[in-house]
Structure 1
Amino acid sequence: MAMFRTSALRTGFVATAVLVVSVGCTVQPGGSGPLTDARPGGTPAGARVTPGNGTAEPSRTESGEPSARPAADRTTPPPPPSESAPETAPDPAPEPEPEPLMASGDESEQVRELQARLRQIGHCDRAPTGYYGSVTAAAVSSFQTKRGLDPTGETDAVTWERLLAMTDRPTRDELRPPTTKPVAKPDPRCLKGRVMCISKNSRTLSWMVDGTVKSSMDVRFGSQYTPTREGTFAVGWKSRHHVSTLYDTPMPYAMFFSGGQAVHYSADFAARGYEGASHGCVNVRDETKIAALFDEVRTGDKVVIYW
């Protein structure tokens, strides 16, 4: 009986010890119950559960910095941006060539001045017209060549400045001369009286009174087969609306000086210039001038034709 009690006491002591060990090793102060090393659901101690996904975040240290994450929870940093070769700036577009001040096809008072200045220094033998044609382009090219410039035939700023420095401002007569070519020096026979002084060399007619030129105009002469006679003559008769009986062609403002030869207006001369020729008469190109001359000239006035 004594042995049974001893065995029972031992068994109870052991059971009590086993029960204490299975409950825990410490007791929460205040008797609120035992503390454990795990949270409900098996979350490791020291970890905080993020609401919504149940993922544990690492606890923070006393300094406030997060402790190291497990290797499996770390995010791989993105690779650094690749260093591409710097872009090469495109070559700048070439600057456009400056527009010329004057060129073929232009028509203006500046073109007339250009022609007058070129004529002053012998690069143009035509009277200014104000139109920039092939004759003017050739004259500009000649000037450029002689001055060491690019002979484009177009008047750029450099060409114009060089020409201005070498010439004088054209006078009114230089800008609008009475004839295409310079008027010839009068023959001595033209210096007295009332004379139509006609030069074959300059192809001009000057109406002179006592040595003074009153008006001048362009004229053309007969061909080699029908030449205009040279010498001193007198106006025999006049016919304002004359028509040739030999050639059946109009001869307005005709002033006859030698047989059938006369000074008169020619529409063909006005249209074709010096490409044509007369049948021996002295053709006048400007109708307005010959009309005024017709009113001035009297029968008996002198006509001098010379080379």
Structure 2
Amino acid sequence: MISHTIGATGRRALSVLLVLAAALPVTVTGTASANPGPPVPAPPQQLVPGIPLTPYQPWQLDTPDQALPPRVYEPSAVEDAFEPLAPPAALEDGLIEYVPPSEVVRSAAAAVTCSKRTGPYQRQVERYLKLRVDGRQSGPDCRAIRKFQATQRIRPSIGFAGPVTWSRMRYLAATRNPNAAGKCSTRGYRIACVDLARQLMWVQQGKKVVFGPVPVRTGKHETPTRGGWHRVYWRHKNHFSTLFSTPMPYSQFFSGGQAFHAIYGSVYNPPGSPGCVNMRFSDSRRLWSVLRKGDRVYVWGRRP
């Protein structure tokens, strides 16, 4: 009886292995490859920070968000006297592009050269740089993108049209007049405007922009930042999430557990936050001195 059971189990395992083997792709060496067709942009989920891997990567640290509304209380004077711990300047100022893993290895092993890969934001970057918009990486495209990346201190400057490069272009295009499209209402009081499509936020009073625009990271598709009108109902400079045992510096809550707050990682880090509007530390600290309890917040659009 025991030997019969073992035999049946073995036969079933063998059948599973045969099915899996049949499903695996077969590689034939020495055969010319077929025409691969036009370049396909690298999927965003396959991109990694584009500098050599090290045991400690501070730009990958993240600050989780409150899943539930916080307990509102009046912080003591002693608590308010302490400023949140700032990240290192190199981390705060660094613009690290996300690139395919092979590009990380290549740029680390040799002198920086042009990437031949088509980035996920190739068309948008081509349009911004007034290049031929065909969604295909080329030598002239790469040289123009590399020049922009070097000017903006984006690393590695290899001409790959990734999310950080495109986000920087969106930011620069919005600096003169972020509300050119009139999506955020112009009223006599302060409004914190959050543009989900461009991943930007600013504060305006009437038609005057009094803060920003600055890049932000809003909620991912599964946990989106709630759209519409809100109001800042609680501000807590040294907020600490008891749910995640993690600091949330300069928190300004406007909708349940969703708040503007600083993170110690990159605001370009995909796929998004669990709902809060994540900001660079320096931007969040400046916003703290601009907004007040009761100020209005308007969120619109759709995160790309």
Q: Fold match, TM over 0.5?
A: no
Higher relative contact order (CA 8 A, sep 6+): 2
Query: Which one has the largest radius of gyration?
Result: 1
Q: TM-score, normalised by structure 1?
A: 0.44
